[in-house]
Structure 1
Amino acid sequence: MLVKKYNARLFLFLGLSSLLFMGNILVYRIQFIDPLAKESVYATLLDCLFVWPLLVYLFFLRKRRLSLRYASLTLLVGVGSATFIIPQSFKLEFPSIIRFCLSPVGFGLLLVLFICTYILLLFLKVQRIIRNEQNVPSMQFIRSMHAHETGGFHTMIALMTFYDLLFCSWKRHKRVQGKSYFSYHKKTSSMAFQAMLIHALVIESVGFHYVLISFHPMLAWLMLSLNSYTILYTLANIQAIRTQPITFDGKRLIIYKGLTSVITLPLSELESIERYNGPEQLPKSLRKRTFNAVLAEFTKEKPAFEMVLKKPHSVFQFIGKSSKVDRIHVTVDDDVRFYEQIQKAIENEKAG
């Protein structure tokens, strides 16, 4: 029922918006009023900068907290619409500053200014949260603690995590007393696999660039840029694996899979932990509900443990995405100590 109401509201909004914009376009394109009064430009500006933003507010923003971001974006779309609706000959009646803002160049500059301002505000918000948090194990952990935030917030956290791991985390983080840390890469070939991947990417980048540069220079530089980013991402992923071990403080379990994903699991939501004896390849239906925290290696290995959750919990991916899982597959280097601590904590939690 809610979906039907939302779809009806969306179609009504699109219909009214189409009538508003098409009416203004036809006024300037169809010569049924000749000559067209110069004052009609002000009517178009009124529709684009007041009536259409009012429609957006009434249909979508009325029941939520009005934010500067949504208001600015709505006005920017209105300015862009006026830029392309009003013919150049009618814009000559405006003062130079308004004429510049209604030009394609002016609209482009306003768009760039909006994007830069939005990114700066996101950065300052993330910085403020980082300063206020105490004993933060990683910036990926902050994402899981602020799951209600927007996708832009999570994307900013992901990018800051990427650059922090790449340039500022070559030393392991200090261990906090009272917490248990479990590495998950020392008894695997994951580091050798990552190094081989970087080696292959470097050779591929040089070879493709040499071949493509004479045929299609733009494509050659694009491929080089993408491969360079992949190499940097792989280096950051190695740093995440080295410096961010699985962390357990008695009440909360934080499981990382390098830079790619993280889950912060309260002990109260953990039903059981068992040695994994299931199939190597899970069915598709079960694979979607399972967080596989086992690192990629040359050969696919079974996980050491399977943890079953009492209810689905969110796993946060690198760029803003999240998914719900109800079981976790994990492998650690010190599997005996890991199993004993988690099992004991579960038993104590059930005993009350």
Structure 2
Amino acid sequence: MFALRRKNLLLVGFLVALIVISNFLIYRLEFMQPLPSEVALGSLIDLMFVIPLLIYFFLMKKKYSLKYMVPLAFAGYGVALLIIPHGFLSSYSFVKYIVLAGEGAFLLVEFYIVFKLVKNLPSIIRYMKKIDVPFFQNQIAQSLSSHLKSSSRLVDIITSEISMFYYSLFSWKAKRVTPKEDQQIFTFHQKTSVIALYIMLIHALVIESVGLHFLLHNWNEIIAYISLALNIYGLIYFIGEIQAVRLNPIVLTKTHLYLQVGLGKGLSVPLECIKSVTPYEGPEVLSSIESKEVFDCVLPDITKEKPAFEIELYAPMEAKFMYGFKKKVTKVHLRPDDPQGFYDALSAKIK
């Protein structure tokens, strides 16, 4: 299945690149000139309909509905503006108004969601304080679900964005999760170089942002500012990731094992669902098929360390990732800073 998915990804990537490059060259090769104005309509169809349909039917059909083609079509129109010379688009100015209307509707939905968030903010905060689960991500997700009558995917997206900005901008005075009654916590980042790794990435991103912005600015101002915005977003993410890793340890209660790996992924395991916990004796690098069923709680490092333990579950459980992505896992790999203490505590509770 994974091989088939990878094959589809390569095929779609090749077809998308072929369509974009051919549409780019047709306006710039001298022997193709002069071109009829109708050629712009063909390019719009390719970029706004053909490419989204390829992506949907080959990569998204089994997981997502057709509504996700709308942002793909908007992205295709943005590419068309960069590829098609302005004079060719003058006959199809109505497309611009359709796109603007769609963007306007999207912004109205966004403003409505922001309005509901602001309106319910006091009650959301009060509700969060009552929730008896660790980690900001879990608390805000449950609170938003109870106050926003929206799709679970939308709540997941809002949760991811709020969590990222909270950790990167507002968590500097926050203290690490502390154990309550009948709880034990175990750090898993102190014996790694994960924070140093993210600081290196932030340093490289800042240097790359400045140089790339001035380079792109000489070619296309719009692309330059889009690239700058994405790099700033990446900078905020890495800062938030550092804080999330630092503030969220492994939490073991009398009923659950709570795992939160930075901003990116989390898993809550009822103790009765744990079949066994054993020292990890597997390979350093899992195959693609094996990794699909494993929740990897080992932090990224300059040199990737092997897990200390493997937790086997009785039945597949749902691990949550950023922006609402999920997968079923049957095993958990982790490497706490106090391996023996964690092993003794968990073994005692599951017995």
Sequence identity percentage: 31
CA contact (8 A) 1:141 1:264 kept: no
For the residue of structure 2 that corresponds to 1:324, the secondary structure is strand
What is the Cα deviation at residue 112 of structure 1? 3.3
Query: What RMSD in Å do the two structures reach over aligned CA positions?
Result: 2.7
Residue segments in structure 2 that go unaligned for 5+ positions in a row: 1-66, 68-96
Counting only pairs closer than 5 Å after superposition, residues 149-228 of structure 1 correspond to structure 2 as 150-170=152-172, 171-173=174-176, 175-178=178-181, 179-228=183-232
CA contact (8 A) 1:144 1:316 kept: no
CA distance in 1, matches of 2:235, 2:108: 31
What is the Cα deviation at residue 198 of structure 1? 0.7
Residue segments in structure 1 that go unaligned for 5+ positions in a row: 1-72, 74-102, 348-352
Question: Which segments of structure 1 move beyond 4 Å, counting only runs of 4 or more?
Answer: 103-111, 122-130, 143-149
- Sort the Cα spacing of 1:336 and 1:125 in 2 relative to 1 into closer, same or farther, 3 A: farther
Report what 1:322 is aligned to: 326
- Sort the Cα spacing of 1:235 and 1:275 in 2 relative to 1 into closer, same or farther, 3 A: same
CA contact (8 A) 1:122 1:153 kept: no
What is the Cα deviation at residue 291 of structure 1? 0.6
For the residue of structure 1 that corresponds to 2:209, the secondary structure is helix
Report what 2:135 is aligned to: 138
The question of 1:256 aligning with 2:251 is answered no
AA aligned opposite 2:171: S
What is the Cα deviation at residue 209 of structure 1? 1.4
Report what 1:274 is aligned to: 278
What is the Cα deviation at residue 139 of structure 1? 2.9
Report what 1:99 is aligned to: none
CA distance in 2, matches of 1:118, 1:177: 34
CA distance in 2, matches of 1:122, 1:172: 25
- 1:266-310 Cα offsets, whole Å, 9 max, x none, are 101111111101001112221100011111111121111100011
What is the Cα deviation at residue 143 of structure 1? 7.0
TM normalised by structure 1 equals: 0.64
AA aligned opposite 1:163: F
The question of 1:344 aligning with 2:348 is answered yes
CA distance in 2, matches of 1:173, 1:207: 37
- 1:12-36 Cα offsets, whole Å, 9 max, x none, are xxxxxxxxxxxxxxxxxxxxxxxxx
CA distance in 2, matches of 1:111, 1:190: 38
- Sort the Cα spacing of 1:292 and 1:174 in 2 relative to 1 into closer, same or farther, 3 A: closer
For the residue of structure 1 that corresponds to 2:134, the secondary structure is coil
AA aligned opposite 2:257: L
Report what 1:287 is aligned to: 291
Aligned residue pair count: 246
For the residue of structure 1 that corresponds to 2:259, the secondary structure is strand
* Structure whose alpha-carbon radius of gyration is higher: 1
What is the Cα deviation at residue 231 of structure 1? 1.1
Q: State which drifts further: 187-196 or 139-148.
A: 139-148
Report what 1:112 is aligned to: 107
For the residue of structure 2 that corresponds to 1:314, the secondary structure is strand
